Amino acid sequence: MNAQEIRKAYLDFFAERSHAVIPRAKVVPDNDPSTLFTGSGMQPMIPYLLGETHPKGVRLVDSQTCLRAQDIDDIGDNRHTTFFEMLGNWSLGDYFKAEQVPWMFEFLTEVVGLDPSKLYISCYIGNEEFNIPKDTVAAEIWSKLFADKGLSSGTADIGSEAAGYARGIKDGERIFYYDGSKNWWSRNGNEANTPVGDPCGPDSEMFYLFDFVEHNPAFGEHCHPNCDCGRFMEVGNNVFMAYKKVAEGQFELLEKPNIDHGSGLERIAAAANNDPDVFKISILWPIIEKLQLMSGKSYEAHTESMRVIADHLRAATFMAVDGISPSNKEQGYVMRRLLRRAIRYSFDLGIEQNFLQEIVPVIADMYHDDFPEVAERREEVIATLVKEEKIFRQTLRHGIKMMHKFAADGLTGTELFTLYDTYGFPVELSAEEAYTQGIKLSANWREEFDAKMLEQRERSQTAQKGTFKGGLEGHDDIHLKYHTATHLMYKALRTVLGDHVIQRGSNITDERLRFDFSHPEKVTREQLDEVEKIVNDVIAEDLPMTWKEYPTAEAFERGALGAFGDKYGDTVKVYQAGSDDHPYSFEICGGPHVEHTGQLADGGKAFKIQKEEASSAGIRRIKAILS
């Protein structure tokens, strides 16, 4: 089975078992102060794992697109990617181990067709200090499933990863018990680091053995399932969320435990190929084939360059689909770094024109059937990425020339800042290029660069108390006020400028709101004054802020506004300002907000637009405060 077939088969498999298929969340989470990107399949599900009722019920399944920017420097081997899909299924207080373990065994061996003799399992060894028992229940279920196939199912107590490298695997062993550093799930890691009040529990991971791959002793003396040498590849993880941490060192059983399962689509597809190279699967290999055709060079001779390009452009394409544009800040900076790194590697292949124009359509073609938003935004995405390529190519050669000019005595952080500030080189790209070219970097280049960046922020007065991490900086009272003010301003902008105004992004701190929206020209001061007046009038009216859940189709029929780039399930939460008969605003949003608009001020003038400027082509940006 190819990756597209595996994705569909997984969704169908669990739909047949009464799971509601839910849409993916964007790779940039809305109103989540904890992270820049959706980095795991369960991340959008945290509210429901913490007890909130999901509108689709207690059995759910999806394929979630994920992005991990911290993995950028690892790209080039055969299994790391910054962008990936997680196949996930959840039981919210419904079924548990007795159903989940056999289902996953059936899916992997009967549906995908993996050889069960190449599957190995890890389970939780328990923790006497916290009175949490060894997970023999899951191990016994796995053992019976393997025995039914006529396979050995011996168990072994490993404990730590280091112990695994020291011990290795003995004949007949297939199920391995590891400690909480490997087989315990919480939002913050092992048992001791689990936040008080959070659900948590043991997990059971599934590994596929590429028996023809030789163990590399550089990773450890002996191989074991959690070895990083590439002989074993994790293809899925069942989290048995059975506990709640009630105090430091104290856990109690949940009355209704949850299942949180995640399987890497790319890795299952690689296992189905019986090839540890994930770049040879059907949602990456077409990019490699196009690169070979354009360059006249082979994958075998230019493996790292082609892997980096394929991964980075797939990630950047989905970022663009979800409304991100390249910039020098936060998510936009990561996107710019991915694109410019890919373009730099294209030079190694001798591809110096029509690069993204040729590659991005290949990526879009692989996804447009399964993710309609890719088809809907295809031309806009191509235009966004091609524009960035043109900008970078204009500066790339000159920047490299300047790097060599600076480099007579080695590059300092100050010179790297100049390359970043003047020539648009992400500092990590400059460091990589220096290494490739054999140019020495000063010992404290990173500290020098960071100091220059801090000086620039202070000069431009853009320093913020917190980092923008997806919409809201936090959930304090002031953040709720600014979030509510954003709704009021959005409606006012559409009233003054027209219905073509669509939200393209927002950022809320405890000092101001920032709002990006589509509009073809500068907003005049007179128009801004009118927007201010409308918002302040609504604040003075002290309208109630309420919310209701609606079927999605009904919400849109009633005139609800949705956030740009969002996909919705069958049910949505809609916030409104004002009465049901005559609401001022009516907008799909997850919250949170104040209860009355009057809370934005104690009366009188409260809302003030500080600045209006261009954000990117056809996109304007407003910064406003509550005073």
User: What average pLDDT score do residues 358-377 get?
Assistant: 94
Q: Are strands 199-209 and 232-247 parallel, antiparallel or unpaired?
A: antiparallel
CB-based burial label for 253 (10 Å; 0-12, 13-18, 19+): exposed
Kindly list the distances between the CA atom of residue 410 and the CA atoms of 395, 478, 626, in Å, as whole numbers in the listed order. 21, 47, 49
Closest CA to 397 of 431, 433, 432: 433
Tracing tokens 């980095």 back to the chain, one arrives at 39
Contact in structure between 38 and 28 (CB atoms under 8 Å): yes
Q: Provide the residue ranges of all domains of the chain, joining segments of one domain with +.
A: 3-279, 284-460, 471-626
Q: Which of 123-132, 604-613, 614-623 has the highest mean pLDDT?
A: 123-132
Q: How confident is the model at residue 474 (pLDDT cuts 50, 70, 90)?
A: very low
Q: How many CB atoms lie within 10 A of CB 591?
A: 14
Instruction: Indicate if the pLDDT at residue 59 is higher than 50.
Output: yes
User: pLDDT tens across 475-534, in order?
Assistant: 458 888 888 999 999 999 999 998 888 888 888 887 889 998 888 889 999 999 999 999
Instruction: Indicate if the pLDDT at residue 181 is higher than 90.
Output: yes
Tracing tokens 């506990």 back to the chain, one arrives at 243
User: pLDDT tens across 18-47, in order?
Assistant: 999 999 989 887 656 557 888 888 888 888
Q: Are strands 607-616 and 619-626 parallel, antiparallel or unpaired?
A: antiparallel
Q: How many CB atoms lie within 10 A of CB 133?
A: 12
480 Cα distance to chain centroid? 24
Cis (ω within 30 of 0) for the bond into 257?
no
User: pLDDT tens across 512-528, in order?
Assistant: 899 988 888 899 999 99
**Greatest CA separation for the chain:** 80
- The C-alpha atoms of residue 431 and residue 446 are separated, in whole angstroms, by 10
pLDDT of residue 34: 59
Tokens of 153: 């199912």
Sequence-distant (≥ 6) Cβ neighbours of residue 426 within 8 angstroms: 333, 336, 337, 340, 341, 420
- The C-alpha atoms of residue 194 and residue 510 are separated, in whole angstroms, by 28
Range 3-279 classified under CATH 3.30.930.10: yes
User: pLDDT tens across 393-418, in order?
Assistant: 877 777 777 777 777 777 888 888 88
DSSP string across 474-506: --SHHHHHHHHHHHHHHHHHHHHH-TT--EEEE
Closest CA to 11 of 86, 73, 93: 86
Closest CA to 492 of 533, 436, 542: 533
DSSP string across 28-96: S-TT-TT-SS--STTGGGHHHHTTPPPTT-SEEEEEEEEE-GGGGGGBTBSS--SEEEEEEEEESSS--
User: pLDDT tens across 262-305, in order?
Assistant: 999 999 999 999 999 999 999 999 999 999 999 999 999 999 99
Average pLDDT, the chain: 87
User: What average pLDDT score do residues 69-90 get?
Assistant: 86
Q: Which residue has better confidence, 424 or 132? A: 132
Q: How confident is the model at residue 567 (pLDDT cuts 50, 70, 90)?
A: low
Contact in structure between 134 and 178 (CB atoms under 8 Å): no
Own/partner long-range contacts of 399-407 (Cβ < 8 Å, ≥24 apart): 399/423, 399/424, 399/425, 400/433, 403/430, 403/433, 403/434, 403/437, 403/439, 404/437, 404/439, 407/434, 407/437, 407/439, 407/440
pLDDT of residue 434: 83
Contact in structure between 38 and 66 (CB atoms under 8 Å): yes
User: pLDDT tens across 86-126, in order?
Assistant: 999 999 999 999 999 999 999 999 999 999 999 999 999 99
Q: How many CB atoms lie within 10 A of CB 190?
A: 16
Question: At residue 66, what are phi and psi to the nearest 5 degrees?
Answer: -130, 155
- Partners of residue 129 on adjacent β-strands: none
Tokens of 81: 């990617």
Q: How many CB atoms lie within 10 A of CB 443?
A: 10
Which range among 75-84, 132-141, 270-279, 420-429 shows the weakest confidence by mean pLDDT? Answer: 420-429
User: pLDDT tens across 199-208, in order?
Assistant: 899 999 999 9
Q: Are strands 513-518 and 619-626 parallel, antiparallel or unpaired?
A: antiparallel
Instruction: Indicate if the pLDDT at residue 461 is higher than 50.
Output: no
Sequence-distant (≥ 6) Cβ neighbours of residue 605 within 8 angstroms: 536, 627
Helices (H), 274-367: 285-295, 303-321, 330-348, 355-367
CB-based burial label for 353 (10 Å; 0-12, 13-18, 19+): exposed
Range 471-626 classified under CATH 3.40.50.280: no
155: three-class secondary structure by DSSP: strand
User: pLDDT tens across 617-627, in order?
Assistant: 678 899 999 88
Instruction: Indicate if the pLDDT at residue 462 is higher than 60.
Output: no
- The C-alpha atoms of residue 92 and residue 258 are separated, in whole angstroms, by 5
- The C-alpha atoms of residue 246 and residue 120 are separated, in whole angstroms, by 33
Q: CA triplet 331, 336, 340: central angle to 5 degrees?
A: 155
Instruction: Indicate if the pLDDT at residue 433 is higher than 90.
Output: no
Specify the pTM.
Answer: 0.71
